[in-house]
Amino acid sequence: MLFAAMHKTRMPDPSEALPGRATPMPVPERHAVLDVPLLPPYPDGMEVIHLGMGCFWGAERLFWRQPGVHVTAVGYGAGHTPNPTYREVCSGMTGHNELVRVVFDPSRLALEEVLKIFWEGHDPTQGMRQGNDVGTQYRSGIYPADPGRLPVAEASRERFNEILRAAGRGPVTTEIRPLEDFYFAEDYHQQYLAKNPEGYCGLGGLGIPYPAAS
Protein backbone atom coordinates (compact mmCIF):
# COMPACT_ATOMS: atom_id res chain seq x y z
CA MET A 1 0.00 0.00 0.00
CA LEU A 2 2.81 2.42 0.87
CA PHE A 3 4.61 1.55 -2.37
CA ALA A 4 1.44 2.21 -4.37
CA ALA A 5 0.96 5.61 -2.70
CA MET A 6 4.59 6.57 -3.39
CA HIS A 7 4.28 5.46 -7.00
CA LYS A 8 1.19 7.61 -7.53
CA THR A 9 2.92 10.70 -6.16
CA ARG A 10 5.86 10.46 -8.58
CA MET A 11 5.50 12.05 -12.01
CA PRO A 12 6.17 9.35 -14.62
CA ASP A 13 8.80 9.92 -17.28
CA PRO A 14 7.30 10.27 -20.76
CA SER A 15 8.97 6.98 -21.70
CA GLU A 16 7.02 5.15 -18.94
CA ALA A 17 3.66 6.82 -19.50
CA LEU A 18 0.67 4.89 -20.79
CA PRO A 19 0.26 5.14 -24.60
CA GLY A 20 -3.30 6.43 -24.62
CA ARG A 21 -5.18 6.71 -27.91
CA ALA A 22 -5.85 8.98 -30.87
CA THR A 23 -9.63 9.09 -30.36
CA PRO A 24 -10.90 11.94 -28.16
CA MET A 25 -13.47 11.33 -25.44
CA PRO A 26 -17.06 12.03 -26.54
CA VAL A 27 -18.16 15.38 -25.11
CA PRO A 28 -21.74 16.30 -24.16
CA GLU A 29 -23.18 19.04 -26.34
CA ARG A 30 -24.29 21.32 -23.52
CA HIS A 31 -23.44 22.13 -19.90
CA ALA A 32 -25.89 20.39 -17.58
CA VAL A 33 -26.32 23.51 -15.42
CA LEU A 34 -25.50 26.54 -17.58
CA ASP A 35 -27.07 25.11 -20.76
CA VAL A 36 -24.35 26.38 -23.12
CA PRO A 37 -22.00 24.38 -25.39
CA LEU A 38 -19.03 22.76 -23.65
CA LEU A 39 -16.83 22.85 -26.74
CA PRO A 40 -15.27 25.93 -28.32
CA PRO A 41 -15.52 28.28 -30.09
CA TYR A 42 -16.58 30.38 -27.12
CA PRO A 43 -18.08 33.87 -27.45
CA ASP A 44 -15.74 36.73 -28.29
CA GLY A 45 -14.01 38.27 -25.30
CA MET A 46 -14.02 35.14 -23.15
CA GLU A 47 -10.87 34.13 -21.25
CA VAL A 48 -9.92 30.51 -20.58
CA ILE A 49 -7.95 29.13 -17.65
CA HIS A 50 -7.44 25.57 -16.37
CA LEU A 51 -7.14 24.96 -12.64
CA GLY A 52 -6.11 21.95 -10.55
CA MET A 53 -7.52 21.94 -7.02
CA GLY A 54 -7.74 18.25 -6.19
CA CYS A 55 -10.81 16.26 -7.21
CA PHE A 56 -12.34 18.14 -10.13
CA TRP A 57 -15.99 17.53 -9.16
CA GLY A 58 -16.11 20.12 -6.40
CA ALA A 59 -13.80 22.53 -8.20
CA GLU A 60 -16.11 22.63 -11.21
CA ARG A 61 -19.18 23.32 -9.07
CA LEU A 62 -17.33 26.10 -7.27
CA PHE A 63 -16.77 27.92 -10.56
CA TRP A 64 -20.03 27.28 -12.42
CA ARG A 65 -21.74 29.13 -9.54
CA GLN A 66 -19.71 32.31 -10.11
CA PRO A 67 -21.31 35.26 -11.91
CA GLY A 68 -19.31 36.00 -15.05
CA VAL A 69 -18.43 32.36 -15.76
CA HIS A 70 -19.66 31.37 -19.21
CA VAL A 71 -19.00 27.62 -19.01
CA THR A 72 -16.98 25.04 -17.10
CA ALA A 73 -15.80 21.53 -17.95
CA VAL A 74 -13.57 18.92 -16.34
CA GLY A 75 -10.71 17.07 -17.93
CA TYR A 76 -7.09 16.06 -17.82
CA GLY A 77 -3.93 18.01 -18.64
CA ALA A 78 -0.27 18.69 -17.86
CA GLY A 79 0.65 15.05 -18.43
CA HIS A 80 1.89 12.77 -21.19
CA THR A 81 -0.83 10.32 -22.27
CA PRO A 82 -3.08 11.41 -25.16
CA ASN A 83 -6.84 11.13 -24.53
CA PRO A 84 -6.53 9.28 -21.22
CA THR A 85 -9.38 7.62 -19.37
CA TYR A 86 -10.17 8.34 -15.72
CA ARG A 87 -8.88 4.91 -14.74
CA GLU A 88 -5.59 5.58 -16.51
CA VAL A 89 -5.16 8.98 -14.86
CA CYS A 90 -5.83 7.43 -11.44
CA SER A 91 -3.11 4.84 -12.06
CA GLY A 92 -0.46 7.55 -11.77
CA MET A 93 1.00 6.52 -15.12
CA THR A 94 -0.22 9.39 -17.31
CA GLY A 95 1.17 12.37 -15.36
CA HIS A 96 -2.09 14.26 -15.84
CA ASN A 97 -3.75 16.60 -13.40
CA GLU A 98 -7.53 16.65 -12.84
CA LEU A 99 -8.49 20.08 -14.16
CA VAL A 100 -11.49 22.34 -14.38
CA ARG A 101 -11.68 24.51 -17.48
CA VAL A 102 -13.12 27.90 -16.58
CA VAL A 103 -14.31 30.09 -19.43
CA PHE A 104 -15.14 33.53 -18.06
CA ASP A 105 -15.96 37.08 -19.10
CA PRO A 106 -13.13 39.25 -17.74
CA SER A 107 -15.38 42.33 -17.93
CA ARG A 108 -17.62 40.72 -15.30
CA LEU A 109 -15.16 38.50 -13.41
CA ALA A 110 -11.56 39.66 -13.29
CA LEU A 111 -8.70 37.18 -13.39
CA GLU A 112 -7.68 38.31 -9.91
CA GLU A 113 -11.10 37.25 -8.64
CA VAL A 114 -10.75 33.87 -10.36
CA LEU A 115 -7.37 33.45 -8.66
CA LYS A 116 -8.82 34.47 -5.30
CA ILE A 117 -11.47 31.74 -5.62
CA PHE A 118 -8.74 29.29 -6.60
CA TRP A 119 -6.32 30.09 -3.76
CA GLU A 120 -8.98 30.23 -1.06
CA GLY A 121 -10.78 27.10 -2.31
CA HIS A 122 -8.10 24.49 -1.61
CA ASP A 123 -4.80 23.85 0.18
CA PRO A 124 -1.97 24.65 -2.26
CA THR A 125 0.79 23.37 0.05
CA GLN A 126 0.27 19.60 -0.17
CA GLY A 127 2.25 18.61 -3.25
CA MET A 128 0.82 15.55 -4.99
CA ARG A 129 -2.32 15.34 -2.90
CA GLN A 130 -5.34 17.21 -1.61
CA GLY A 131 -6.50 15.97 1.75
CA ASN A 132 -7.16 12.24 1.57
CA ASP A 133 -6.89 12.25 -2.24
CA VAL A 134 -3.33 11.17 -3.04
CA GLY A 135 -1.70 11.14 -6.47
CA THR A 136 -0.24 13.28 -9.22
CA GLN A 137 -3.73 14.08 -10.52
CA TYR A 138 -4.57 15.95 -7.31
CA ARG A 139 -1.76 18.51 -7.43
CA SER A 140 -2.43 22.23 -7.30
CA GLY A 141 -1.98 23.91 -10.66
CA ILE A 142 -2.74 27.00 -12.75
CA TYR A 143 -2.59 26.77 -16.54
CA PRO A 144 -3.71 29.93 -18.37
CA ALA A 145 -4.70 29.49 -22.02
CA ASP A 146 -3.03 32.83 -22.74
CA PRO A 147 0.72 32.61 -21.94
CA GLY A 148 0.65 36.37 -21.35
CA ARG A 149 -1.32 35.65 -18.16
CA LEU A 150 1.44 33.52 -16.64
CA PRO A 151 3.12 36.48 -14.87
CA VAL A 152 -0.20 37.38 -13.23
CA ALA A 153 -0.60 33.82 -11.96
CA GLU A 154 3.01 33.67 -10.77
CA ALA A 155 2.68 36.99 -8.93
CA SER A 156 -0.47 35.71 -7.21
CA ARG A 157 1.43 32.62 -6.06
CA GLU A 158 4.19 34.75 -4.54
CA ARG A 159 1.71 36.94 -2.68
CA PHE A 160 -0.21 33.99 -1.27
CA ASN A 161 3.00 32.17 -0.40
CA GLU A 162 4.15 35.13 1.69
CA ILE A 163 0.83 35.26 3.53
CA LEU A 164 0.93 31.52 4.25
CA ARG A 165 4.52 31.66 5.50
CA ALA A 166 3.60 34.51 7.84
CA ALA A 167 0.79 32.30 9.15
CA GLY A 168 3.18 29.38 9.69
CA ARG A 169 1.97 27.47 6.63
CA GLY A 170 3.48 26.60 3.27
CA PRO A 171 5.41 26.57 1.11
CA VAL A 172 3.05 26.72 -1.85
CA THR A 173 3.62 23.83 -4.27
CA THR A 174 1.30 25.05 -7.04
CA GLU A 175 2.44 24.31 -10.58
CA ILE A 176 2.08 27.21 -13.04
CA ARG A 177 2.82 26.72 -16.72
CA PRO A 178 1.27 26.71 -20.19
CA LEU A 179 -1.00 23.79 -21.02
CA GLU A 180 -0.24 21.98 -24.26
CA ASP A 181 -3.37 19.83 -24.30
CA PHE A 182 -6.66 19.61 -22.40
CA TYR A 183 -8.50 16.31 -22.70
CA PHE A 184 -12.18 16.34 -21.74
CA ALA A 185 -13.12 13.81 -19.08
CA GLU A 186 -15.86 11.23 -19.51
CA ASP A 187 -19.49 12.38 -19.77
CA TYR A 188 -20.38 11.22 -16.25
CA HIS A 189 -17.70 13.47 -14.74
CA GLN A 190 -19.05 16.62 -16.38
CA GLN A 191 -21.07 18.63 -13.83
CA TYR A 192 -20.96 15.53 -11.62
CA LEU A 193 -22.27 17.23 -8.48
CA ALA A 194 -25.28 18.64 -10.34
CA LYS A 195 -26.17 15.10 -11.40
CA ASN A 196 -25.23 13.64 -7.99
CA PRO A 197 -25.93 16.34 -5.37
CA GLU A 198 -24.85 14.10 -2.49
CA GLY A 199 -21.63 13.10 -4.25
CA TYR A 200 -18.11 13.46 -2.90
CA CYS A 201 -16.58 16.94 -2.69
CA GLY A 202 -13.06 17.13 -1.25
CA LEU A 203 -12.61 20.90 -1.53
CA GLY A 204 -11.27 22.61 1.55
CA GLY A 205 -9.30 25.82 1.89
CA LEU A 206 -7.00 27.02 4.66
CA GLY A 207 -9.25 29.83 5.87
CA ILE A 208 -6.56 32.40 4.98
CA PRO A 209 -7.67 35.28 2.73
CA TYR A 210 -5.86 35.77 -0.56
CA PRO A 211 -4.29 39.25 -0.87
CA ALA A 212 -5.41 40.47 -4.29
CA ALA A 213 -3.14 42.72 -6.34
CA SER A 214 -3.55 46.39 -5.49
CA distance 98 to 53: 8
User: SS3 for 27?
Assistant: coil
- Rounded Cα gap, residues 128 and 142, in angstroms: 14
- What is the distance between the alpha carbons of residues 44 and 134, in angstroms, rounded to a whole number? 38
Selected catalytic residue, list 48, 49, 53, 55: 55
Q: Exposed e or buried b for every residue in 122-146, given b needs 16+ CB within 10 A?
A: bbbbbebbbeeebbbbbbbbbbbbe
Residue 55 designated active-site: yes
DSSP-based three-state secondary structure for 97 = strand
Active site residues: 55
